Amino acid sequence: MVASTSSGCAGRLRLCGVLASVLAALAGPAAAGHGSPAGPMPVISAPDLQALLDRGGRPLLIDLRPADDFRQGRLPGARSIPIRELRRRAGYLPPGRIILYCACPKDELEAAYRYLADLGLQEVQGLEDGFPGWAQRGYPLEH
């Protein structure tokens, strides 16, 4: 975990766990309409995402971390949608390539992915190693 986001991490991880459970439960009704995606969540590595951005690619980057963490630093051009707000704000996401990231365990990121995929969003990926992996590699951050 990045030093600047380490305070209160245990509490945030517990909160993320609870929120992932809620998202998984909420995905049930959406799944009835679209069907759950088969297989694991597709991921993109930090080097591959950086190369995509360098080539002018503009996926919608969704930061699922709490708003305070987002304000301390984020991927360039990312939009803040804390995981606890995802259900309420998911309907406003445009179609197209979406890359989700957080600083939470992979199963919680996967729950957010499945929720969006169940809503019919088809080009959703997770950032491998999340925000901590991006920051540890020294890739650009906005503040």
d(CA 18, CA 31): 20
DSSP state of 137: T
What does pTM read for this prediction? 0.77
The tens place of each residue's pLDDT in the chain, 143 residues long, gives: 333 343 444 444 444 454 545 444 444 444 434 456 668 999 999 999 999 999 999 999 999 999 999 999 999 999 999 999 999 999 999 999 999 999 999 899 999 999 999 999 999 999 999 999 999 999 999 99
Instruction: Look up the domain containing 58 and give its range.
Output: 8-136
How many other C-beta atoms lie within 10 A of the C-beta of residue 72? 14
Give the chain's count of helices (H) and strands (E).
6, 5
Q: What's the CATH number where 12 sits?
A: 3.40.250.10
Residue 101 lies in a domain: yes
Domain count, the chain: 1
Of 118, 131, 122, the residue nearest 23 (C-alpha) = 118
Residue 1 lies in a domain: no
Residue 63 lies in a domain: yes
Residue 120 lies in a domain: yes
